Amino acid sequence: MRRDYYGERSLNGLRAVAEVKLHEGDEALDAKGLIEAARDVEIIVADRLTQGPGGIFPQLPKLRAFVRCAVDIRNIDVEAASAAGVLVTRASPGFVQSVAELALGFMVDLSRGVSRATAGYHAGRTPEVKMGRQLSGSRVGIVGYGSIGRYLAGIAKVLGMEILVSDPFVTISDAAVQHVLLDDLLARADYVVCLAIANAQTENLIGQAALARMSPHAFFINLSRGNLVDEAALAAALRENRIAGAAIDVGRALDQMPTMDLAKLPNVIATPHIGGLTPDAIEHQSSETVRQVEKIIKGEIPVGAVNADHWRRRP
């Protein structure tokens, strides 16, 4: 995880400003292990698998900050950290282009059967020849119009796609983008790309009712979080060919990876949560944690702080 999601350049950056203690195990530390490892530590820099449960903060009196090398901080008890006076920070999304490009790759693969044909050839058999679909002239529905959604819409526009967006929290001024209700998007889109934020309101956003609104020729793509999808409902829709197929980079397995039961279906393309796994994307976030640590050491509030008003354990 440190090699792929942090890198030597950022690690050397940390070492230039502080004494660094590394967790050398293959598995993420649990609460007990984290308390033991960080007993004399002032700043924890954590990957996305390392949780920050509330019980650790009172037991780490020297801890000043919990720095997350990821955007998602749902597995950190920010309230408990605040009560203990510990600063929590998050990284900004540096993976916008990387994830949007994977979405484009998924759309091409689903449309043209690239993975299916390749698997056939690898197995030593001639693949079935099937008619494909071009992206130009097709309709993409983007659920969630944040940074990735906007970037993907720009790509889709260049490709000559019709663009539908469902997001109740944004105003869209681009005349090439149709802002519609989710039900309308699901009914009309050839590709439904899920990029909404994962929270209590979007839990199982794509369930049986949503999937029933999709056309039999439509494809579903999830590059957000597994929590947004009722996987049993999606599996049933795929097995019964009520939708044409799906591509998933995330799911409800460990580290938000796709679950095997869903990923192994023949009309599914799955990747192991690698949407943001490019050197440019990773270095953006890891180098940001170095800048945050530099600020924290000086007693200054860094960009990315989520509970600055409660930070009492300042240097």
Rounded-to-integer distance, Cα 147 and Cα 103, Å: 14
Residue type, 269: I
Percent of the chain with pLDDT over 90: 94
3-state secondary structure of 87: strand
Rounded-to-integer distance, Cα 279 and Cα 283, Å: 6
pLDDT 10s digits, 22-68: 999 989 999 999 999 999 999 999 998 999 999 999 999 999 999 99
pLDDT 10s digits, 119-161: 999 999 999 999 999 999 999 999 999 999 999 999 999 999 9
pLDDT of residue 3 exceeding 90: no
pLDDT number for residue 33:
96
Helix (H) or strand (E) segment spanning residue 286: helix 279-297
pLDDT number for residue 224:
96
Distances (CA, A) of 34 to 29, 40, 46, 74, 175: 5, 11, 10, 17, 51
Confidence band of 295 (pLDDT split at 50, 70, 90): very high
Structure tokens at 138: 């097709």
Confidence band of 5 (pLDDT split at 50, 70, 90): confident
pLDDT number for residue 236:
98
pLDDT number for residue 289:
97
pLDDT 10s digits, 183-209: 999 999 999 999 999 999 999 999 999
Sequence-ordered alpha helix ranges (H) in 123-259: 147-158, 182-188, 208-213, 231-239
Q: Angle at the Cα of 146 (from 181 to 205), degrees rounded to 5?
A: 45
Instruction: Catalogue the long-range contacts made by 165-173 (C-beta closer than 8 Å, 24 or more residues apart).
Output: 165/141, 166/141, 166/142, 167/143, 167/196, 170/145, 172/145
pLDDT of residue 4 exceeding 90: no
Residues 6+ apart with CB under 8 A from 3: none
pLDDT of residue 102 exceeding 90: yes
Beta bridge partners of 220: 192, 246
pLDDT number for residue 1:
80
Residue type, 66: F
Average pLDDT over every residue of 235-263: 96
pLDDT number for residue 125:
96
User: Tokens 């953006």 identify what position?
Assistant: 284
Q: Tell me which of 77 and 4 has the higher pLDDT.
A: 77
Q: Angle at the Cα of 66 (from 63 to 69), degrees rounded to 5?
A: 150
Q: Are 76 and 99 in contact (CB under 8 A)?
A: no
Sheet of strand 191-194: strand arrangement: 177-179, 162-166, 139-143, 191-194, 219-222, 245-248, 268-270
3-state secondary structure of 18: coil
pLDDT number for residue 2:
85
Q: Are 220 and 82 in contact (CB under 8 A)?
A: no
Percent of the chain with pLDDT over 70: 100
Rounded-to-integer distance, Cα 179 and Cα 78, Å: 34
Q: What is the largest CA-CA distance in the chain?
A: 66
Task: Indicate the average pLDDT of the chain.
Answer: 96
